[in-house]
Amino acid sequence: MSWHRRHLLTLEELSLVEIDQIHATAAAFKRTLSRSVKKVPALRGKTIVNLFLEPSTRTRMAFDMAAKRLSADVISLDAASSSTSKGETLRDTAENIQALQADMIVIRHAAAGSPLYLSRILDIPVINAGDGAHEHPTQGLLDTFTMKEHLGSLRGRKVVILGDILFSRVARSNIHALVKMGAAVTLVGPSTLVPHWFTELGVQVSHDLRGALADAEVVMLLRIQHERQATGHFPSLGEYTSMFGLNKTRASWLDPRAIIMHPGPINRGVEIDSDLADGERSVILEQVTNGIAVRMAVLYLCAGGQPENVMPTE
């Protein structure tokens, strides 16, 4: 089946077939990354602009590396060095980037819906690199790609997402992908950060950390998103950690084969202890590495490339 989508805005709108196509294409690009010559000529002559109007380490660098591995030219712009700091609107900034002959724009923005907005006013592909608390589709794709590398098919697999779900774009993108892939997802955390209405997305909500961890094949930790919380949703960080932080005792409730994930940035000693973040079961840095291949696949497909054949995993 061919690929028709020009923009990557959300995982909510992607079909299971499209998610599988991105994963299959990422797997092919991942193989090229272990060669001595890591570059492929797929996007030679194209210019990609990374417009990051919120801070980022992993996503911005991975998009940068992905574009370079595809032989594209890359220009990165952040909030401090762009004219948005002088009052220019997002629309004007984006239209100027297009007028400068960019072929694609990757945007991170604090406002939910800003990538969708740009996709409606620009003629070039728009890739969402995180919009407010809404979605972070390439993170959801690289997380599920990493899970598949460890578990094979995710159908029926038990995934616990633990932490600040309410303000997490990573949680939303993972939920949309995991539910389509047939995983059994349980969200855990304080009731103020994991409201019951999330069950409408096809997941379970639990405040019983021990019970949820005992069943989990994957546990994904999320940090507290202070930058998006207008008021305190729990008494203090110390109380959050004492109730929900993943420490040695709580990790002993997990099956020894369960993997530990985190999208980063990690707040060590808050949502996860250092021993576990750096331990044998942690795949946190594998997630980061997989972010390059997954973003290569997204850039390549949205630029008009065609997907690798999907290999059945069941």
User: Interface residues with ligand CP (CB under 6 A)?
Assistant: 56-60, 130, 136, 139, 263-265
* E-assigned strand segments in 184-246: 184-188, 204-206, 218-221
For residues 271 and 224, is the Cβ–Cβ distance under 8 A?
yes
* E-assigned strand segments in the chain: 47-52, 73-78, 104-109, 126-131, 158-162, 184-188, 204-206, 218-221, 259-261
Nearer to ligand CP, 58 or 233 (CB): 58
Residues of the chain by 3-state class (helix, strand, coil), percent to 5: 40, 15, 45
Query: In the bound complex, what is the minimum distance in angstroms from residue 208's beta carbon to ligand CP?
Result: 27
Which residue type, as a one-letter code, is found at position 263? P
Nearer to ligand CP, 113 or 202 (CB): 113
**Is beta strand 104-109 parallel, antiparallel or unpaired with respect to 184-188?**
unpaired
Query: In the bound complex, what is the minimum distance in angstroms from residue 55's beta carbon to ligand CP?
Result: 6
**Residue 303 neighbours by CB under 8 Å, 6+ apart:** 42, 43, 46, 103, 104, 125
Query: In the bound complex, what is the minimum distance in angstroms from residue 295's beta carbon to ligand CP?
Result: 11
Nearer to ligand CP, 170 or 205 (CB): 170
Instruction: Tell me the Cα Rg of the chain.
Output: 19
Both tokens of 186, joined, read 């349980």
Query: In the bound complex, what is the minimum distance in angstroms from residue 275's beta carbon to ligand CP?
Result: 21
Residues present in the chain in total: 314
Cis before residue 265, ω within 30 degrees of 0?
yes
Nearer to ligand CP, 56 or 71 (CB): 56
Ramachandran sector of residue 79 (left: φ over 0; alpha: ψ -120 to 50; beta: rest): alpha
Nearer to ligand CP, 171 or 205 (CB): 171
Nearer to ligand CP, 125 or 140 (CB): 140
Query: In the bound complex, what is the minimum distance in angstroms from residue 235's beta carbon to ligand CP?
Result: 26
Query: In the bound complex, what is the minimum distance in angstroms from residue 38's beta carbon to ligand CP?
Result: 21
Nearer to ligand CP, 7 or 169 (CB): 169
Residue in the structure block whose two tokens are 């774009």: 169
Which residue type, as a one-letter code, is found at position 290? N
Query: In the bound complex, what is the minimum distance in angstroms from residue 129's beta carbon to ligand CP?
Result: 8
